[in-house]
Amino acid sequence: MRILLVGDLHANTGAAFQALDHAAEIGADLVLQVGDYGWWPRDPGGQKFIRKVEKRLAERGLDLWWIDGNHSDFDRLDAHPIDEDGRRQLSDHVWHLPRGFRWQWGNSTWVAVGGAVSVDKHYRIEGKTWFAAEELTNEQADSIIAAGPADIVVAHDAPLGVPFLRGELRQDLPAWRRDDLVPWPIGALMRSDEHQRRVRRVVDGVQAKRVFHGHYHIRYSDTLTTANGLVRVEGLGMDQDLLASRCLLVDGDGQPIVSVTQCTSDLKLDQLRH
């Protein structure tokens, strides 16, 4: 298996096309998107994005799987039934992976752990740009853990305790002291920390060896020390970043595959931006 992991797309058609063209160019078997895909079927721009991505996938002979983040229209998503195999098929080439969905690639069990906290909730409208179902619940976390071990967690949010993110988000400080450093309310920061703690509980509970996630719009690679050993954590960038920041080619066991083509594609994109 050659899987192209893709970071937050936010219904950005141009960024999606670049990722899909890149996936076809490097011979990826499938595209796996780690949340904030752009599922806004009630929005005219969202409808256009959904149609165009489906068409591009058909042209490239690819399928796309995505997990939910914190910016999906969950009301419309829940209206689609879950198939017998555990996924939601949204079009001929696009599937949503519900929280807790498991599958086997290579010698590894993968599990989808969608959800995150919108720290900018106070700027959003409930039922339109913000949805109460955005967070992974304690009950969902318990259910995922109860289903048994999994080697690889594909999440939107990160597990608590990743050294890079602790520094980047200033999680060494209590929320009330971070309020002066970031433009988000104290309560939102506390909810975000708690959500990371929930994801961490899942990572520990399923004894994962690798985690891939988005949400923070930063490409990084770090190691998380857990009671079960070291866990490799890969954060992916967002739609406005270069391909190397928002895409990662891996095999069925989650091992990164270095591709010369990726460097070439990034060079082309960098030249276009300058």
pLDDT for the residue 259: 58
Of the chain, the percentage scoring pLDDT greater than 70 comes to 94
Pairing of strands 220-226, 229-235: antiparallel
Does 116 have pLDDT greater than 70?
Answer: yes
Domains of the chain: 2-273 (3.60.21.10)
What tens digit of pLDDT does each residue of 67-87 get? 999 999 999 999 999 999 999
Predicted pLDDT of residue 39: 96
Distances (CA, A) of 29 to 62, 229, 248, 260, 265: 7, 31, 13, 17, 18
Count CB neighbours of 58 within 10 A.
13
Q: What integer pLDDT is reported at residue 169 of this predicted model?
A: 87
Which pTM was predicted? 0.92
Split at pLDDT 50, 70, 90, the class of 173 is confident
pLDDT, the chain, mean? 92
User: What is the model's pLDDT at position 181?
Assistant: 76
Smallest CA-to-CA distance from 258 within 267, 247, 269 is with 247
Render pLDDT for 235-274 as a digit per residue (tens, 0 to 9).
999 999 999 999 999 999 999 997 544 444 454 444 333 2
